[in-house]
Amino acid sequence: MIRLILGIEILINSANLNFIALSAYRSQGFIDPLAHSIVIVSIALAGSVSAVALALIIRAYRHYGTLDIRVLKRLRG
């Protein structure tokens, strides 16, 4: 589960990096400040999502004693 969360965070960070890099191509010599604002909001949301995900991981580990996704999928009822 931790690998899954880390993969999601890497994906969000790469999208933010691409968004910032491509904001400079709109016109020559102008960097769009809207892209920076959106990325700052995205970073804040990603931080809160990862905090909730880590809280869920801790809760699942305390309750089930494992973090293996294959084992946790078998618990569906």
Provide the residue ranges of all domains of the chain, joining segments of one domain with +. 2-73
Chain segment 10-67, per-residue pLDDT in tens: 999 999 999 988 888 877 778 888 888 999 999 999 999 999 999 999 999 999 888 8
Reading phi first (left if > 0) and then psi (alpha if -120 to 50, else beta), residue 23 is in alpha
Query: Which residues, including other chains, have CB under 8 Å from residue 24's CB and lie 6 or more apart?
Result: 30, 31, 32
pTM confidence score: 0.76
Q: Which residue has the tokens 């973090």?
A: 67
